[in-house]
Amino acid sequence: GAVVSQHPSRVICKSGTSVKIECRSLDFQATTMFWYRQFPKQSLMLMATSNEGSKATYEQGVEKDKFLINHASLTLSTLTVTSAHPEDSSFYICSARAPTGQETQYFGPGTRLLVL
Amino acid sequence: DAKTTQPPSMDCAEGRAANLPCNHSTISGNEYVYWYRQIHSQGPQYIIHGLKNNETNEMASLIITEDRKSSTLILPHATLRDTAVYYCIVRVPSGNTPLVFGKGTRLSVIA
């Protein structure tokens, strides 16, 4: 299947700092990428849909000014958590829609963020 | 809003077939059934999907009932590495429609 990578795999930061997470589609071009967040023992929650060359679409309750998404190319989307706080500590997972078959989504390995 | 119902957990003996059920009684005609799994601390992994015919690949088989209101994912010979949360998702495979995850079934494969 298609490969999606994320960087970094884990990050620890101080409260008030900003953290950038990269999501790359390695062997295909993705006009659409999705960002999810997962808290311990819970399911994945969709945060936003990232479209190449246009503004991201955020789910209800997700602050667009806090979670900045940039989809500057067909293989790269970035999520920046601005002014991170301990409650932002979570597992962030990106996904890209592969333009094959029935539009299967492939997921990155996730980024674990810990805000102290 | 998850459109599927799955048992919260299941156990399976190693080497035996694992049969994971999913109810999707409100599925519409153009929605496909997708199965993903998530091993602890990893991103979800695509397993299989189908519309109405049974499907098989190197990982699993998908059996969809004739009325399409339920399906079963079959792992023919479960191993310890198949221990994961399995998600059944229905969606129309088009455009920017993302996968919406329910709570899934936590499968524990026991030696």
What count of other Cβ atoms lies within 10 Å of the Cβ of residue A86?
Answer: 9
The per-residue pLDDT for B45 is 94
pLDDT tops 90 at residue B12: yes
Cβ A112 vs Cβ A43: under 8 Å: no
Q: Is B53 on the interface with A (CB under 8 A)?
A: no
Distances (CA, A) of B84 to A3, A31, A83, B34, B40: 20, 30, 33, 16, 7
Give the residue, B46 or A101, on which the prediction is more confident.
Answer: B46
SS (HEC) of chain A: CCCEEEECCEEEECCCCCEEEEEEECCCCCCEEEEEEECCCCCCEEEEEEECCCCCEECCCCCCCCEEEEEEECCEEEEEECCCCHHHCEEEEEEEECCCCCCCEEECCCEEEEEC
The confidence band for A27, taking pLDDT boundaries of 50, 70 and 90, is confident
Stretch B70-85: mean pLDDT, rounded? 97
The per-residue pLDDT for A53 is 83
Min distance A23 CA to chain B CA atoms (Å): 12
Answer whether B41 sits within 8 Å of A102, measured CB to CB.
no
**Which residues in chain B are contacts of A104 at CB distance < 8 A?**
34, 46, 49, 93
Percent of chain B's residues with pLDDT above 90: 86
Min distance B16 CA to chain A CA atoms (Å): 26
User: Which residue among B94, B96, B104 sits closest to A43, beta carbon to beta carbon?
Assistant: B104
Name the residue with tokens 């499968």: B107
Q: Which residues contact A24 (CB under 8 A, 6 or more apart)?
A: A4, A5, A6, A7, A75, A76
Q: How far apart (Å, rounded) are the C-alpha atoms in residues A21 and A112?
A: 10
Cβ B24 vs Cβ B14: under 8 Å: no
User: Which residue among A44, A104, A109 sits closest to B49, beta carbon to beta carbon?
Assistant: A104
Stretch B17-42: mean pLDDT, rounded? 95
**Which residues in chain B are contacts of A112 at CB distance < 8 A?**
41
Residue pLDDT, tens place only, B80-102: 999 999 999 998 877 678 899 99
Answer whether B93 sits within 8 Å of A91, measured CB to CB.
no
Cβ A71 vs Cβ A51: under 8 Å: yes
pLDDT tops 70 at residue B47: yes
Three-state DSSP at B47 gives: strand
Q: How far apart (Å, rounded) are the C-alpha atoms in residues A84 and B32?
A: 38
Residues β-bridged to residue B11: B108
**Which residues in chain B are contacts of A113 at CB distance < 8 A?**
none
Q: Which residue of A has its CA nearest to B39?
A: A109
